[in-house]
Amino acid sequence: MTTRNDCLQRDAQDPLAPLRAQFALPDGVIYLDGNSLGARPVAALARAQDVIAREWGQDLIRSWNTAGWFDLPKRLGDRLAPLIGADDAEVVVTDTTSVNLFKALAAALQMQAAEPATAERRVIVTERSNFPTDIYMAQGLAGWLARGYSIQLVDGVAELPAAIDANTAVVMLTHVNYRTGYQHDMAAVSALAHAHGALIVWDLAHSAGAVPLALNADGADLAVGCTYKYLNGGPGAPAFIWVPKKHQARFRQPLSGWWGHAAPFAMAPDFVPADGIGRALCGTQPVVSLAMVEAGLDVFAQTTMAAIRAKSLALTDLFIQLVEARCGAHPLELVTPRAHARRGSQVSFAHPHGYAVMAALIARGVIGDYREPAIMRFGFTPLYTRYADVWDAVEILRQILDGQAYDIAARRDAVT
């Protein structure tokens, strides 16, 4: 049986352990919700103060040029690119994940419509268990188009081969499932889509900064993701969109705002898209929020995704092992894959009173979150999560379950 001392020893030998000091983590809290909102980098506070007090307060509008505000979306994109297997000038940090997904999906449909061989395709394939906003955005886009597009929902990866056919225009999937932590084989699924003439759009919200990604090598067509989870960019931080060089000349998106114009300050009445990744931009950028993203990326520059992945798997393996060993008498069901290749950086357990148990955990200082139906999610961010945190979290969970110290009638908060 693993002991707490064993966990302390693993922490002492952990090469990533020094990075924890670069995050502002409150005393008495075990934070296992980085898959929903990452912790604040210590440097973010000073960076925000500098942007507000000096760049905005003193230099005013001059900072668009002197402080590099204008180029910030592209510069951050280039810094993020290595974390997702992209090249320079293929990523911009901008807008929200939902807005970027709308752009990517619209562009993919337009690219298919422009080719005689695929012009009549009208089906978007995605999973029923996909993050709801992805499905909503696809439904909204299909509803606005006048050419009869429809959404086909599948129940799991096993149904994809039968669902993708000559009518499929685009396959839209989330790489790591938000509820279960299941991780798709990006290369295999992308190849499956291409074998049937479809394009594939990936949502990396639960992957970027958590698992190694190889968008170009794995044959992806377009991708989006957020920066406020594992990338620690702050609540509501701008998202990102990836358009590989192979598709940039054909990439057209309907939100043709002035920041995506080839010469925005020419103030011409007609829209001409910028060359390259700049055409994925839309309107004026949220500079303060963008600056916070850079504070998170600074930490990633001090390690590698391989090191992060190795610790992620070790943390999640330990959590599964301890929960099953110490809480095995209770009706907990592991819904996250055991296989490393199919697991992201979270572990989800179902419990008949999952919301009440999670509320009790949070009250005891162990912060995870809850998703319907009955699923308790625990996210592991290797940059700041310790092995001893895992042991302590499971011990508190055991105490709550053994003592039935949770309120089945617990009031639901607006955000669970």
Task: Give the catalytic positions in this structure.
Answer: 131, 203, 228-229, 377
Per the CB < 8 A criterion, the answer to whether 185 and 341 are in contact is yes
d(CA 84, CA 312) in angstroms, rounded, equals: 16
Dihedral (CA of 347, 349, 354, 360) sign: negative
Find, among 44, 36, 19, the residue nearest to 291 by Cα. Answer: 44
Rounded Cα distance, 229 and 25, in Å: 15
Vertex 134: Cα angle to 256 and 110 (nearest 5):
40
Please say whether the beta carbons of 159 and 126 come within 8 A.
Answer: no
Q: How many beta carbons lie within 10 A of that of residue 3, not counting itself?
A: 9
Of 181, 183, 93, 97, residue with least CA distance to 133? 97
Distances in Å between the Cα of 406 and the Cα atoms of 216, 261, 329, 342 are 47, 55, 16, 32
Closest by CA to 172, choosing from 147, 146, 149, is 149
